[in-house]
Every structure is written in C-alpha cells, then in structure tokens.
Structure 1
Amino acid sequence: MPGAGTLHVVATPIGNLGDLSPRALEVLRAVDAICAEDTRHTRRLLAHFGIERPLLAVHEHNEGDIASKLVARLLAGESLALVSDAGTPLVSDPGFRFVRAAREAGIKVSPVPGPCAFVAALSVAGLASDRFVFEGFLPAKASARRERLASLAGESRTLVFYESSHRIEEALADCVAAFGSERPGVLARELTKLFETVLDGTLGEIRSAVEADENQRKGEFVLLVQGAGEDEDAKVAEGRRLYARLCEYLKPSQAAKLAAELSGAPRKALYGGDVQDQPPE
C-alpha cells in the first residue's frame, strides 16, 4: 500500500546474544518503534546492543485490543518491528492477530529470520527431520495432556513439544505411558545457553536421567519423540489411546482389559512399558 510502513517480524536470540543477525540489528535500529511481548526483557536486549527505540507492549492479554491502533500507525507511514521474548515471534508466542490485521489492511509484513528453539533442537536431535509435527506446549491439565499424547501415539512423523521446568517430569511420565518406554526421543535443554544439554536414548532412559539429576529439571525444554515406524503395531497405538481415555472413568486394570479387547492389542503393552506400572492381570 503506497505510503504505508512495514511490519518487520524479527527473530531474536533464544540464549546466546551472538545469534542476533546483522540484518535484525539493522532493522531494530531503523524502525519507529518495537512491539515486544515483555518490554523489560526486550529493553535489556536492546541496551546490550546500544539500541534506543520506543517500546510498545504487545502480549496475549492486549493484542486483540491494540492491533487496530498499531495498524493505524503502520498505515500512517510508520515502520514497526515485532519481537517476542526469545526466538521467532508467533511460534508458541503471541502476535498472529497483529500480523493478520496488518495483512488484511494491505500492509507489507516482512520476516527477519533467525533463532527458533524447536528448529535448533531438531537440527541436533538425530531424529528424522524430513517430516515432523510441532505441537508446541502440551496442555497443563494432566487429563488433557494425556489425551493429547494418546491421540499422537500412532503418528509416524517426529513429534516436537515445548515444556516448562515445573512440568517436565510429569510430561515425560505421560510420554512413556502414551508411546512406551522404548520409543526413542531427545530432550534438549537451555539451547545456546551456558548449561545447554541434549539427552538422547529411549523415553524411559531420558525420564530416568531427569529424575536422577535435579539440574536436568531446570530451564526451558524441547522434547522430541521419534514417530511410530512402519513396523509399529497399529493395534498397540490404538490400544494405548483407548487406555488413556478409559482410565479417566475406570480402574487401570479394567481400562487395560477393555482397551485390549477393543483394539486387539496385548494387554501388557498398553500401560507405559514400565513393569512396575503394569496393571494387574
């Protein structure tokens, strides 16, 4: 649109400040204002690089209300940058309503690519990356989280999740229950930061490593799970999905029996793969 400004969607470091690209620096220095998820966090980033630009708070609680005002500024000829607290904006972060409103108004929206935590994790995981499913954060509520995981038990593509430090143990336990303890996975923690670690092995092994080391329960996580292979028993995947749902209403032993009957899967294969967790015969 003639006379209108540009909305630049700018990726910022997920940890190491050296990952901010020269182009991102150039854009952040040149725009009229920077729209940030947390202005305090972004102000520290800008101060590190000696950038002084007005900051506007755009987060999940005000995005719907402020988007039209920001679009008006863009239509008036201002150029704005949109950043999140870390990584690529809109990837499990707010911003899509603002971007959609700008595009609907005919404003140019230009990406300034850079760091993204799940892409970084996928690049070092050693799991198939030609086809994958990014699921973002799993539901915080245990029942909803288990239902989501159960629905993915038969997914053949590599699964990618974000998880927080206060739920990582529960999420790993639920992954073991949904996919089995022998399913390969990778847990990437604090990527590009000082205490970066990447654990690989089976889900059971990763779960045990996290339970045994308090340090492995701190920070920000990307959890990757190998997809169900062609040799994966479809009956087992369906049985685990049914078992997870039935456990909300029945005792584990009853749920396992009914899920096995409905799916044709072996009863012992339906509950997580941990011997101590198997429902009684």
Structure 2
Amino acid sequence: MQQISSFNEHQSGSLYLVPTPIGNLEDMTFRAIKTLKEVDLIAAEDTRHTQQLLNHFDITTRQVSFHEHNTEQRVPELIEKLKAGYSIAQCSDAGMPSISDPGKELVAAAVKEGLPVIPLPGANAGLTALIASGLVPQPFYFFGFLERKHQQQVAALEKLKNREETMIFYEAPHRLKKTLTTMAEVFGEERRVVLARELTKRYEEFTRGTLSEVATWFDSHQPRGEFVILVAGNDHPVEEQNDDLQLSLTEQVDKAILDGLSTNAAIKLVAKKNNIKRQELYKQYHQL
C-alpha cells in the first residue's frame, strides 16, 4: 500500500499541479503565484504562452516545454529531476492540468515512482460554465473534446444519449456547428443545451435553447472563442437491448463497419464494449 504524503513533509522533489486562468488573470490564486515562484522548474504546455503569465506576475522561474507531442521524451526527464530533488510545477495554457490538457502521463509516472504529487485548486472551464448554465449541476458527466470525424462522434454520442446527468463537452469554434448538428442527430433536436464562450473574459456569453435552435442560430452567427457545450441529461432514458453482444467479436466489428465506422474505430469500439484489449481483437479480426 502506497503512503500518501502531506504537503509539509516534502519541501523539494515534489510535482505541483498548478491551474492557470481560463481568461481573466485576476483568477490566479496567491498560492499558485507563490508556487510558480518557488519551484525549481515549470513544465509548461506552451512556454511562450506561459511566459506572458509569468511576466505579468514577475515570476522568473525557468521553463521547459511539456505537451502532447513530447510526452515520451519529457516524462522520464522530469521524473529523474524529481528524484534528484527538484521541485516542478506543471501547468497547461489554461485551466486544470490533465483535464483535456497535458499532465496525466507525468502524474501517473510520479505516482508509480512514489513521488509526491500536490494539486492546487483553481479555474476550470467546465465547472465554471456548469454552475451558471441553469441545467441540473449534479450529477454531471464530463467528456471534454469529441473526436473530429463524424462517424466517431456518432459512435461516442450514441453511448451517451441515455445518460441522465448533465453532460459537459469542449469544442473549438470552427467545429462547433458540425458538432451541434451531430448532437441533434443523435440526442434529438429538442434536447436542451447551453453554450458558454469566452468565460471570465470581457465578452463572456451564454447561449441557451434546444439543440435545433442553437444550431440554427449559428447559421447566421460566426462562432468565436473556445466553447463549453452543456447538454441536459435524458429525462426519459430508454433501456436498450444490446443484441450486438450476442454476435461473435468478428461479427460485431463487421456490423460497426457497416454502421459507418472505419475498421480501426470499429475494433476499438467493440473491444471497449466487451472489455478486452484492442490489440488482441485487432489480431483476432485480421487473423494475425
């Protein structure tokens, strides 16, 4: 059993998870500023972006880049520094590390090595939008970003359409209209939705209505800024019979392909449904 360390037991060699503002710099906490000043190194998603934050608060701590494209290289390097006694703060461009942002691999590696991981509270776009949405705030289901391809979005949303919790998604402005249209296709046009954009900034805005109404509204309005999409839960969920599980694994994959998924996406979906490893199903399907 791994012992859980308290804050005061470790003055160095700790990984600090530091949230950053999602728009308004005044949302930076005193503790976050103090931590960024006192650690030996900051692992930042985008060092140029984080430098602007550091300059604003007169923080001179050295940075190193840590993002989705250099994870395999950086994690071992950062773990070795932690073992050597360095204190490291990990932060993303906005909001909580690991939540639709880099961080989870480093945290998992630090936990595996028995190194202290110290989370700081702070800004999060999903929860900030949720409490002002007017939808039922709890329970809620956080999803984050959907896949970009239509077939993959449909497959993911099909598994969510009977959830009774309020669902939270993130989306980029140039994909917003397409995603709303797909949600209306799967969830139904009358499902309630709230869009939150530019949270904590000057032009913060909430758009409320049905999926059909909101999708139509964006026919004549250009989406700007990052969006949080909050979809009301299903008030009348339908108990679905999963006849697919009566089929063989190969037949399930073939059926998913006929439904529009690529072979790899179908294998991934069927493996998850049947709680087996994707690699095993891949070999079985392709008779390797």
2:44 paired residue number: 36
Runs ≥4 in structure 1, deviation > 2 angstroms? 1-4, 231-235, 244-249
Q: Deviations over 1:231-275 (max 9, x none)?
A: 35557xx9xxxxx997639xxxxxxxxxxxxxxxxxxxxxxxxxx
Q: 1:225 aligns with which of 219, 231, 234?
A: 231
The number of residues matched between the two structures is: 239
With 98-107 and 112-121 compared, the bigger mean Cα shift is at 98-107
Structure 1 length-normalised TM: 0.80
1:113 paired residue number: 121
With 77-86 and 148-157 compared, the bigger mean Cα shift is at 148-157
Give the secondary-structure state (helix, strand or coil) at the position aligned to 2:20: coil
Q: Does 1:158 align with 2:170?
A: no
Q: Which residues in structure 2 correspond to 1:106-185 (within 5 Å)?
A: 106-185=114-193
Contact 1:37 1:57 in 2 (8 A): yes
C-alpha distance in 2, partners of 1:138/1:162?
8
Q: Deviations over 1:118-168 (max 9, x none)?
A: 011111111112111111101111111122112211111111100011100
RMSD: 2.0
Q: Name structure 2 gaps, 5 residues minimum.
A: 244-255, 262-288
Give the secondary-structure state (helix, strand or coil) at the position aligned to 1:167: helix
Contact 1:4 1:107 in 2 (8 A): no
1:257 paired residue number: none
Q: Deviations over 1:31-55 (max 9, x none)?
A: 1110000000000110111111100
Contact 1:187 1:198 in 2 (8 A): yes
Structure 2 length-normalised TM: 0.78
C-alpha distance in 2, partners of 1:13/1:211?
31
Q: Deviations over 1:215-241 (max 9, x none)?
A: xx1110010111111x35557xx9xxx
1:46 paired residue number: 54
Contact 2:197 2:225 in 1 (8 A): yes
Contact 2:163 2:237 in 1 (8 A): no
Contact 1:4 1:76 in 2 (8 A): no
1:63 paired residue number: 71
Q: Does 1:202 align with 2:210?
A: yes
Q: Name structure 1 gaps, 5 residues minimum.
A: 239-243, 250-281
Give the secondary-structure state (helix, strand or coil) at the position aligned to 2:138: coil
* C-alpha displacement of 1:181: 1.2
Give the secondary-structure state (helix, strand or coil) at the position aligned to 2:100: coil
